[in-house]
Structure 1
Amino acid sequence: MDRDLLDQMFRHAVAEAQPALAVRLNLPPRPLGRTVVVGAGKASAQMARAFEQAWDGPLSGLVVTRYGYAEACDRIEIVEAAHPVPDEAGFLAARRILETVSGLGPNDLVVALISGGGSALLPAPAAGLTFDDEQAINRTLLASGAPIGVMNLIRNQFSTIKGGRLAAHCAPARVATLVVSDVPGDDPALVASGPTIPLGGSRELARKYATLYRLDLPPHAQSLLAGEDNLPPRPDDQAFAGNTVRTIASAALSLDAAAALARQNGMEAAILSDSIEGEARDVAQVHAAMAREVAVRNRPFAKPVVLLSGGETTVTLRGKGRGGRNAEFLLAFAIAIDGSDGITALAADTDGIDGSETNAGAFADGGTAMRLRRAGIDPLAALANNDAYSAFEAIGDLLVTGPTGTNVNDFRAILVR
């Protein structure tokens, strides 16, 4: 019963973030000239379909999404590429997108449909770097445990499309960006590394972060980072004057929808935050401590209650197991509440894929650790090996939804009876 409610809340949160209605409500004014649509991300194909269905006028364009996430469109070409590590299809798509927006005039409009995942889907290495270099940079960042803002600042140093460069390439055409946000705090410049929105942040700061997180960058990337070539455009660059940005779906809106569903089912809901960051296993410890406090002392919230949170945790790879950040969160959470009664949790990625695995997330409760031990799995050893997926798969507690068509990042719900 409790798992069913948590499952319903997750699906309700995902439904709230679907692009169809959000796109229709945020259409830009029609231009005097051409309308060209470009985009990238896990939700970009759904956004493209919604846009061409709602747009009253001619248009053309090209959007790249993750393999398995395509939607049928009539006027916008949809191509698929790899995520989270870029592949040649993404490399070619990025080049074609730059060609698509070349030569536009001041009366033309570029509509950029941007959602999470676009960083990997638009690999466009800077001069002096190879595609292999960009793949290596991405792998290094994914394994570093760095927060999304740090990763994007560093990615932007090595790209010809990220950090506002795509919008600069569109000038003098006006750019209207519609964003499905998957980042803590919903800063649109962080979504997909902001191809149409300059992030800001200096080359010197990027160097400091690379040292702080001990990034093992390829030699050519190290050389570029040490110099001042290929600097990202500044936010006050005149190339961006007149451009517009709208965030049309976010974790905050999805958590509100989940909370409303809980209350309809007679359960109070408390939204802790929509922008939680940090190491997944550390965030799990804090959530577990709060859940135990509610279960034992009925504070700071009275039972029964659902604790909700969103954001994007990170995982520093220590082992060679399988599992995304939500499964890792739940495994650490299960260890921390081992033996506790009345606590059930779900953690999942709203795009339907937790990291690079086939599940959206998983379920855990006070008996999870015991069930793992009975299955011959040491929970602590599994966590040390970053093998949360295998652990939850062994006891049948994975949540598998397939691609959802949207992406507003992590969803966590903890029910305390």
Structure 2
Amino acid sequence: MSKPRALLEILAVSAKLGVTSFGGPIAHLGYFHNEYIRRRKWLNEQDYADIVALCQFLPGPASSQVGIAVGIVRAGMLGGLTAWLGFTLPSVIALVLFALLLQGFDIGSTGWIHGLKIVAVAIVVQAILGMGQKLAPDRNRATIAVLVAAVTVLWQTAISQVLLIGIAGIVGMFLYKNSPTSNTTSLSIPISRNVAMLSLGVFFGLLILPPSLRQMVHVQWLSMFDSFYRSGSLVFGGGHVVLPMLEREVVPTGWVSKSDFLAGYGAAQAVPGPLFTFAAYLGTMIGGVKGAIIATTAIFLPAYLLVVGALPFWHTLRKSAKVQGAIVGINAAVVGILLAALYNPLWITAILAPVDFVLAMILFVMLVFWKLPPWVVVIAGALGGMLIS
């Protein structure tokens, strides 16, 4: 197949997934497996599992990174960019429109917006339970998670999460250094190691340079790029974990009010595709459509650079028991960070009365036990918010 045809095929398939993939990153991986592996056979089962393992190891939106990696294997670096664009654009457009609606009609204090905040509580509780069972199922990992949550709640600074993730990785490296390593395959990657090293260099350069420039040049678009790029670079565990990082970047600066922040987070549950597109909503609230483009590009750029930089080296890295032990510790820390976010900003802002708690419980049961689609729960939360207001 010619390169242009391959790119068009990737765009069509990924756009279809972007419109239909509800349910969060774990569900997205299931949709990808069904479409890319079972139906189209672009990769075999073991190669797909290897890519998923890599993207769980990297910071950033895991499901988006898996899509990028599949696109790269299929049609090179441009294929990865095309796969990301198709999967991401539908939810970006939806959230930009929601932000413009919120600004144009001044509806930020209405009952249904409060209902969306309560939806966010139910969604994050569900995410904590699911991730906790998988990533912190034993005494050591549960202890790491609780300690990280406690420190995060009591010490809320921009550096605290990064430092805690690093410490948890070191602890995991020693506690789980004797864990058996996973089997790997020699996945064929159309990227040279020189290009991979260049990509990693750009990743670290953009992590270091913009914060310094931001102190010298007070330009809003540069400050936005820095805030969203760092959020996309330093978040492990997928979409929900980016919540506290973004909240600390946009609310204290006065760019977005806490009420509008949580309303957008609730609305982001109703759209398909990656939860990192929440950045498009925040960017629109800060600087209109131009702000949405800057925020979305900045928060996803690290994911692309890291996938390009890591793919050629992953087969070698995964053989290391220390690397796998560090992953175990980092994953437990991710659960703790999300647990802290459940308290602040979610709980203290959304659960203001007993009736709010009742609505949150109902929404949680709808999600977990009735297994209703997230968009149905979002609508129910909005209607419930209108009723209790």
Q: Tell me, yes or no, whether TM beats 0.5.
A: no
Greater fraction helix = 2
Higher relative CO (Cα under 8 Å, sequence separation at least 6) belongs to: 2
Question: Based on CA coordinates, which of the two structures has the bigger radius of gyration?
Answer: 1
| Structure number having the greater strand percentage | 1
- The TM-score with structure 2 as length reference comes to 0.27
The TM-score with structure 1 as length reference comes to 0.26
